[in-house]
A = this chain, B = another copy of it.
Amino acid sequence: MDHTDQELLRLLSIDARMSLKSLADEVGMSSPAIAERLQKLQENDVIRAFTLDLNAEAMGYPMVAIVRIRPLPGKLLVVERLLQEIPEVAECDRVTGDDCFVARVYLRSIQHLDEVLNRIIDKAQTSTSIVKSQVVKRRPAPFVTE
């Protein structure tokens, strides 16, 4: 992981479909060299995947909620499995502290929020925050931007 690798990651996180040639030109190397570096970055599990940044709103999901979930006694595993099955849950972490889970949920409306929460309401206490704006839009953490 030298400076060139970091630069490749920076460029690809802006446009993952950049051609090897464009990447090569940007960092001042040859295409085969870039191809080999990308392969190594994937083999070393630095690059997990080339993926999409999708606009949820443009697809009919204008609301995002952050839900903290505290399962009732004995319900932890059931709740965990349930969260994995709910497609609106775009991300969920098991965390330390009183709230066991923090989930990021994509929604069509406030009514939709109710529908989703109803699926866990009898197995956990929940605390919901509606996202009003994105202060920091998801970015690939220090290692790429620094």
Contact = CB atoms under 8 A, between A and B. Distances in A.
Contact of A54 (B9, B17, B130): B9
B56 A96 contact: no
Interface residues of A, number: 65
A27 interface: no
Instruction: Please state the number of chain copies in the assembly.
Output: 2
Given A135-B84, A135-B101, A66 B93 contact: yes
A47 B51 contact: no
Given A1-B59, A96-B130, A143-B56, A103 B16 contact: no
Interface in A110-131: 127, 129-131
Interface of A: 1, 9, 12-17, 44-56, 58-61, 64, 66, 80, 83-84, 87-97, 99, 101-103, 106, 127, 129-146
Contacts of A88: 141-142
Contact of A93 (B80, B87, B94, B135): B135
